[in-house]
Each structure stands twice: as C-alpha cells, then as structure tokens.
C-alpha cells in the first residue's frame, strides 16, 4: 500500500509512544520522536518503506506548526512584560548564540556550524515550559508572565533565523542573497499587512456568514498553506509565509476560532514532523557518543541557566524570578528541530551533528520538570544565606504599633481589591509587595505597604506578622505561597491564613502546610456564574445561597479541606 501503510505505521507508533510519555508525565513530542527512532531506517524490525514521502508530509506539519504559532501570538501578553521580554529576550538569544559558538569551538566544529549550534540552543521549549508551569500551579505568576514574554520573542526569532542561517555557509554569495531576502521579506510583509487589513477580513466575514464549519476550516488552511507556498515561490521560506499568515489572522475577529479549528489538523501533521525527526536519529551513534552528548547537555544547562539567572536582575526583577527562569528555561526547544532540519537539508549540519543536538534536546526536555522543582528549595536557601534586600514602607503611620491587623501578601489586582475593601471597612491592614510598578500604584491608592520580598523575615517583621490576626496570600504560585507561609508560621504559629490557589495540586500543597482556607478563582467563578443563571431563572436568594453553600462544602470534601 506504500504511503498509506507508512502513515498508518507512523500514527500507530506515535500513539503508543505518546501513551507512554503521558503515563510518565512527559511532553508527548518525546513519544513521537521515540516512535520515529523505533520505526526509522537505523533500527531493525518494522520500518517505513519510504522515509522521503513522510518527510514531505512533515514539511506541511512545519508550516502548520508555524501557522498555529502565528495565530497564538499575543501582543497583549508581550506588552505586559515588554522591557524584559523584548530587550532581555533578544539579549538572551545573542548571548546564547555566542556561548553556543564557544561550545562548537570546544567540540572542534567550524565557525558556521558553531553559529548554527548557538542558534539551536538559544531557543527554549514553549510546550515543556507551559506544561511544567501548569503542573506546578505556577501559571499566572509574575515569573510565568516573564517566561511567556521571552518565549514569544524566541518564537518570533525563529523566522529570521530560518532566513539568515542557510545563507551563512558561503558569505560571498550568501551576503547578497541575504540582502535580497531581506528586501523580499519587507515587500512580502507590506503585501501581507495590506491583505490582512483589507482582503482577509472581508473573505473571512463572507465565509463565516455561510455558517459552514468545514468551509471555514478549508479557508484557514488555504490561507495558511497558500501564502506559505507563495513565499516559497517568492524565494523565501514556506514556513515563514505560514507564520506571517497566522500573525495577520490572529489580529482579526476570527483569530481565536481559526486557532481552535486548525489545532487538531496542526497536531496531526505535527505528529508526522516530530516522528520524522526521530527517524533521523541513529541509536548506535548515540551509544557510541554518549560522552559527547552528556558534555553538550552539561554545557547547555549550566550556560543557559546562568544567562537566564542573571538576566532578570538587569531589569529589576528579584525575588524568586531569577531562580525560576534559570531552572525552567535552560532546555533546548522543539523549534530547534525545525532549524536543525533546515541545516541538514542545506548540508551545513552533518547527520552526526544533527543526532548530537537532537539527543541533547531530548535530554534537556526530560530534565526540565525535575530541575524546575528545585526552585522552591533553592529560593528558601537563598533567603537564608544572602542578606535581606532593603525595605521601604509607604502610608504607614505607626508600623511599630501594629496589632491584631490583617497582612495581605501580594499587591497585584487581587491584593488591591482586598485592600480597598478592608480600607472601606476601616479594618487595620498592611500589604507586602516586591514589584516596583505596584509600589507606584500603592502610592496613588494610598495603601499601607511594605516594599520587599514577602517571604523574607525582615519584611514580615516590618509588616507585623508576629502580631497579626490574619494573613491573606493573594500571590499565585505554590513556590511563593509555601515560602511566605513557612516564614509566617515561624513568626506566628497560630496565625490564621487564607491563600489563593491556582490548581488542585496547589490545594494539596497548602493542606500539607496546615492551610485549610483556600480560594480557587476558577471554582469561585463557576459559583458566581451558577448564581447569576439561577437568579435569572427565578430562584429565590435563599435557594441560591443554600445551593452555593452545598457546592462549596462538596468541593472542600473532595479537596480534603473539610
């Protein structure tokens, strides 16, 4: 059956590999690549009959992956942490490329392949990082927003890398070609802006008006792949065009629906791409070169860890953020596979170099969830070992006389809302906050505030935690909440604590720390939606209250908090 039998074999093997990875709580793409190794030409047993045909389908997978990446692009997310994301993200890429060049020199590679190596290791894994943050209950924290901002910049950098790197193998012809590629890219971007503001919205509005989901999906795929092919004919990368098409559509009214509809198709073709990557890995080479692989892994982990650990300091981010970035963003990302594949195609990277980078990428991805868990212990060690940061207080008239007051840990949106209510009720309270922007907001709002790390002894002493009646932890993230709780318990063992949680895993963490009053924003939102709906349906206030109370009791029992 030829190609049909090969596709069936690839899908079944990827399914089995993904099941194993899901069981091990690892990214599914690792299962896809291991499946590719198992059915590839370098291993015995059942193998695909024509690797080249699978690779051609994988090219569509690359285009759809980058098309989806363009659809997911968010200017709003980037603008929240724009300074460290844009300037810091670009600085990190440049520093890591220079560091990768040094590693390539140590390994005896020529200067072109060394630059390629630097570009490959400069990217971190969006999939692995988001999965790790979600599993640890740290989505929504400031450190997670910084990571996402940097990841967006890294993802944007993939496209120029795919244009620039292939032209470096021959500078005499490469520089003019690179200049021509830049001109073509500028012209193409201008045409895309015109099409994105005039043509695409009109086309999408007409198609959406017909209420045909199949036709809507077909239109999206036609735009993404059609523009990708147009850029290929224009002398640029197929994937570059697909990415730009996704970015243009993301800013339209139909961007979210387009992403929702394209995701299953993107994932299926992405499966073919990652499996085809595994087919290029020679297990015998890995066994014979395990020393070089471990050396590369060690150099990448240490070097990228140091870069990400020091970078936030230059942008005024302290607390747990430098440690979190260093221990979560050190890995090589999945889009390094896309770049590496391009390097093999133009002959810059040998199959041995390709296998070495792929092996190091897989190892660093697997390491990430385990290394990231060290963030809390290392943060606690840093607080014990290093001098405390300088304190600043605002709007506090008699900090030494604080008694039976309320301490709010975190001056973000939730903390400010809590503070405003406490202020209206004329209840004594004080806020602990470490973000300088929120310090300025507190000045304007007139909130009593201690500026410093809420987990530090000196900050909690200044906030009067030892004499407080209640501590409210509004900051998301289990690492921060655990550190604040442990320090507060050492000052005031009988202190009543109410904490915000982002996941069921974090509920369990809080329960182990003796906190039985937790607030889960998603659960509270579900109760409020139910209350509003029942009110509209004519239920009495008493009936609604009893039902909401029953929902809370049931949820507490399930979470072990009753």
User: Which is more confident, 89 or 234?
Assistant: 89
Please give the Cα distance from 526 to 418 (Å, whole number). 20
Nearest-angstrom CA–CA distance, 14 and 36? 8
CA distance 323 to 312: 9
pLDDT beyond 90 at 373: no
Say yes or no to pLDDT of 400 above 70.
no
Across 529-558, average pLDDT: 85
496, 468 contact by CB (below 8 A): no
Query: Measured between alpha carbons, how far is residue 384 from residues 155, 377, 379 in Å?
Result: 37, 11, 9
Taking each helix axis as running N to C, give the angle between helix 142-164 and helix 89-106, from 0 to 180 degrees, rounded to the nearest 10.
Answer: 60
CA 272 to chain CA centroid, nearest Å:
23
Surface-to-core class of residue 518, CB atoms within 10 Å of its CB (0-12 exposed, 13-18 middle, 19+ buried): buried
Confidence of residue 391 (pLDDT cuts 50, 70, 90): low
- Work out whether strand 406-409 and strand 470-473 pair parallel, antiparallel, or are unpaired: parallel
| Cα three-residue angle 199-244-150, rounded to 5 degrees | 140
CA distance 227 to 224: 6
3-state class (DSSP) for residue 473: strand
Residue predicted with more confidence, 558 or 359: 359
Residue 304 binned pLDDT confidence (cut-offs 50, 70, 90)? very high
**Residue 407 three-state SS:** strand
Burial 149-175 (b: 16+ CB within 10 A, else e): bbbbbbbbbbbebbbebbbbbeeeebe
Residue 518 has pLDDT above 80, yes or no: yes
d(CA 36, CA 50) in angstroms, rounded, equals 13
Q: Are 404 and 468 in contact (CB under 8 A)?
A: yes
Q: Is 98 exposed, middle or buried (0-12, 13-18, 19+ CB in 10 A)?
A: middle
CATH assignment, 393-519: 3.40.50.720
Of the pLDDT bands very low, low, confident and very high (cuts 50, 70, 90), residue 330 is very high
The per-residue pLDDT for 337 is 80
Helix (H) or strand (E) holding 248: helix 238-250
Helix, coil or strand: residue 347: coil
How far is it, in rounded angstroms, from Cα 433 to Cα 455? 10
Cβ contact 447:416 at 8 Å: yes
Distances (CA, A) of 266 to 305, 420, 437, 453: 31, 46, 39, 43
Residues 470-483 pLDDT 10s: 999 987 777 778 88
> Scanning the structure block, which residue is given the tokens 């990415």?
243
Which of 532, 521, 530 has its CA nearest to residue 551? Answer: 530
Percentage of the chain exceeding pLDDT 70: 90
* pLDDT on residue 145: 81
Angle at 236 between CA 234 and CA 237, to 5 degrees: 130
CA torsion angle 441 444 447 453 (round to 10): 30
3-state secondary structure of 98: helix
Mean pLDDT confidence for 415-434:
88
Answer whether 431's CB lies under 8 Å from 447's CB.
Answer: yes
Q: Which residues contact 323 (CB under 8 A, 6 or more apart)?
A: 309, 375, 378, 379, 382
Describe the strand order of the beta sheet including 496-500 as a list of residue ranges: 392-394, 449-451, 429-433, 406-409, 470-473, 496-500, 517-519
Adjacent-strand bridge partners of 555? none
Question: Which of 88-97, 223-232, 421-430, 431-440 holds the top average pLDDT?
Answer: 88-97
Domain 2-381 in this protein, CATH class = mainly alpha
Identify the burial level of 558 via C-beta atoms within 10 angstroms of its C-beta, where 0-12 means exposed, 13-18 middle and 19 or more buried. Answer: exposed
Task: Work out whether strand 429-433 and strand 449-451 pair parallel, antiparallel, or are unpaired.
Answer: parallel
pLDDT grade for 399, boundaries at 50, 70 and 90: very low
Q: Which two tokens stand for residue 18?
A: 């993904």
Give the residue-averaged pLDDT of 26-44: 83
Which is nearest to 125 in space by CA: 338, 350, 356, 349? 338
Query: How does pLDDT run across 251-296, given as a tens digit for each residue?
Result: 777 887 888 888 888 888 888 888 887 887 788 888 888 999 999 9
- Tell me the per-residue pLDDT of 147-186, one tens digit each, with 9 for 90 and over: 888 987 887 788 788 778 887 766 555 556 666 766 777 7
Say what the pLDDT of residue 386 is: 63
CA distance 155 to 66: 9
> Which pLDDT belongs to residue 92?
96
Q: Are 325 and 309 in contact (CB under 8 A)?
A: yes
| Alpha-helical runs (H) found in 329-466 | 335-345, 351-372, 375-385, 413-424, 436-445, 457-462
In this prediction, residue 57 carries a pLDDT of: 78
Helix (H) or strand (E) holding 471, with range, is: strand 470-473
Sequence ranges of the chain with CATH classification 1.20.1530.20: 2-381
Does the pTM surpass 0.75? The reply is: no
Tell me the chain's radius of gyration from C-alpha atoms: 26
């Amino acid at each position: 059956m030829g190609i049909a039998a090969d596709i069936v074999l690839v899908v079944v093997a990827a399914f089995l590999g993904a099941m194993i990875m899901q069981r091990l709580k690892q990214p599914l793409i690792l299962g896809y690549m291991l499946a590719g190794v198992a059915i590839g030409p370098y291993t015995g047993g059942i193998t695909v009959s024509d690797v080249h045909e699978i690779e051609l389908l994988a090219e569509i997978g690359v285009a759809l992956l980058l098309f989806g990446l363009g659809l997911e692009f968010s200017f709003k997310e980037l603008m929240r942490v724009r300074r460290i994301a844009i300037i810091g993200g670009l600085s990190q890429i440049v520093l890591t490329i220079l560091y990768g060049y040094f590693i390539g020199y140590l390994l005896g590679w020529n200067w072109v392949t060394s630059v390629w190596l630097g570009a490959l290791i400069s990217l971190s894994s969006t999939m692995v990082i988001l999965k790790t943050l979600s599993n640890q209950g740290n989505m929504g924290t400031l450190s997670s927003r910084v990571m996402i901002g940097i990841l967006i910049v890294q993802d944007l950098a993939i496209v120029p890398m795919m244009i620039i790197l292939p032209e470096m193998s021959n500078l005499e012809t490469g520089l003019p070609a690179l200049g021509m590629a830049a001109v073509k890219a500028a012209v193409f971007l201008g045409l895309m802006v015109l099409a994105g503001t005039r043509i695409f919205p009109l086309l999408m509005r007409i198609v959406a008006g017909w209420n045909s989901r199949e036709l809507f999906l077909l239109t999206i795929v036609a735009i993404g792949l059609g523009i990708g092919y147009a850029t290929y004919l224009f002398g640029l990368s197929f994937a570059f065009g697909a990415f730009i098409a996704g970015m243009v559509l993301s800013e339209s009214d139909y961007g979210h629906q387009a992403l929702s509809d394209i995701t299953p198709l993107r994932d299926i073709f992405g499966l073919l791409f990652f499996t085809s990557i595994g087919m290029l890995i020679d297990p015998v080479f890995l066994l014979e070169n395990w020393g070089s692989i471990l050396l590369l892994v060690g150099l990448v982990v240490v070097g990228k860890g140091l870069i990400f650990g020091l970078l936030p300091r230059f942008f005024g981010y302290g607390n747990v953020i430098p440690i979190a970035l260093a221990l979560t963003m050190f890995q090589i990302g999945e889009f390094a596979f896309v770049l590496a594949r391009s390097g093999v195609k133009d002959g810059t990277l040998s199959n041995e170099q390709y296998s070495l980078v792929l092996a190091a990428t897989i190892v660093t991805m697997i390491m990430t969830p385990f290394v990231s868990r060290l963030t809390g212990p290392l943060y606690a060690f840093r607080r014990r070992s290093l001098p405390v940061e300088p304190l600043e207080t605002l709007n506090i008239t008699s900090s030494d006389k604080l008694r039976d007051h309320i301490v709010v840990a975190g001056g973000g949106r939730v903390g400010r809302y809590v503070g405003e209510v406490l202020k209206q009720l004329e209840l004594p309270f004080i806020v602990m906050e470490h973000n300088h922007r929120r310090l300025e907001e507190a000045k304007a709002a007139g909130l009593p505030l201690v500026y410093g790390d809420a987990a530090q002894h000196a900050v909690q002493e200044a906030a009067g935690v030892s004499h407080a009646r209640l501590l409210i932890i509004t900051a998301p993230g289990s690492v921060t909440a655990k550190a604040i709780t442990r320090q507060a318990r050492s000052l005031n063992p009988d202190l009543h604590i109410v904490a915000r949680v982002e996941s069921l895993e974090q509920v369990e963490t809080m329960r182990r720390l003796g906190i039985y009053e937790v607030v889960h924003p998603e659960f509270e939102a579900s109760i409020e939606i139910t209350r509003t709906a029942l009110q509209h349906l004519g239920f009495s206030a008493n009936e609604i209250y009893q039902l909401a109370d029953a929902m809370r009791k049931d949820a507490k029992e399930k979470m072990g908090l009753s």
